[in-house]
């Protein structure tokens, strides 16, 4: 590959690794904000998985002769973004309204997982474009992590929606249908959101 492409491969992997490290801090703080016991338990599991994602991606970087401890300018920006999410949750906790802090935590986790999901999607595409040991290393990392990343994003989006509905005094499905159906795809997430909407309409007699 051309040197410019090699540089961007390195940038993608190091930024993704930095974001996973930030994810550990995001989940650690989100757990402090959780009021719902099932949500807290789920985030505790996601924290454990995210710690493993750091190890998996570090190993993949080493397989591509990339120092996982290197901090590029892009990594510093990713670190700053993650720190801002953690600070937002701490600000919410300091206000003393646990339910409001839980909603903020859901939003912060969703924001973090949108990037995580995008990063791993790119890593999967990259694995398909490479050859040999590098391709195998990235594909192995992708295969181990991708389903968990899908769950992190789509399930937390469901919790965010339903907890907001509950806060608004509207009918909420808790745990969310994403949880009940073990959603791990965009199509499944769309169906879960539709189920939530239909449930609310049913209550109104529509």
| Contact call for residues 170 and 200 (beta carbons, < 8 A) | yes
**pLDDT value of residue 71:** 95
Position 88 scores a pLDDT of 98
**pLDDT tens for residues 30-78?**
999 999 999 999 999 999 999 999 999 999 999 999 999 999 999 999 9
Write down the pLDDT at residue 205. 35
Please determine, for residue 204, whether its predicted confidence score (pLDDT) is greater than 50. Answer: no
Closest to 115 in 3D by CA, of 18, 28, 203:
18
Between CA 38 and CA 199 the distance in angstroms is 21
| DSSP tag of 67 | -
pLDDT at 121 over 70: yes
Report domain extents, the chain: 3-146
Domain 3-146 classification at class level: mainly alpha
**Which tokens is 105 given?**
């935590």
Between CA 167 and CA 169 the distance in angstroms is 5
pTM of the model: 0.92
Residue 178 and residue 146 in contact, taking contact as beta carbons nearer than 8 Å: no
Four-residue CA torsion sign, 38, 180, 154, 99: negative
Give the pLDDT confidence of 70-100 residue by residue, as tens digits.
999 999 999 999 999 999 999 999 999 999 9
Give the per-residue pLDDT at 2: 42
**Rounded Cα distance, 146 and 166, in Å:** 30
Residue with more model confidence, 51 or 179: 51
Contact 89, 104 (CB under 8 A): yes
């Amino acid at each position: 590959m051309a040197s410019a492409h090699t540089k961007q491969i390195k940038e993608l992997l190091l930024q993704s690794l930095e974001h996973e490290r930030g994810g550990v801090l995001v989940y650690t703080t989100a757990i402090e904000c959780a009021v719902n016991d099932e949500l807290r338990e789920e985030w505790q599991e996601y924290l454990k998985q995210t710690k493993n994602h750091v190890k998996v991606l570090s190993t993949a970087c080493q397989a591509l002769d990339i120092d996982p401890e290197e901090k590029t300018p892009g990594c510093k920006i990713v670190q700053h973004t993650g720190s801002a999410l953690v600070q937002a949750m701490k600000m919410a906790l300091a206000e003393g309204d646990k339910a409001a802090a839980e909603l903020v935590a859901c939003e912060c986790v969703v924001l973090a997982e949108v990037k995580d999901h995008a990063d791993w999607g790119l890593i999967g595409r990259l694995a398909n474009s490479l050859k040999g040991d590098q391709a195998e290393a990235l594909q192995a990392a992708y295969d181990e992590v991708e389903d968990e990343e899908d769950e992190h994003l789509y399930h937390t989006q469901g919790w965010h929606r339903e907890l907001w509905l509950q806060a608004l005094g509207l009918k909420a499905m808790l745990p969310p249908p994403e949880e009940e159906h073990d959603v791990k795809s965009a199509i499944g997430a769309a169906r879960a959101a539709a189920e939530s909407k239909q449930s609310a309409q049913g209550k109104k007699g529509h």
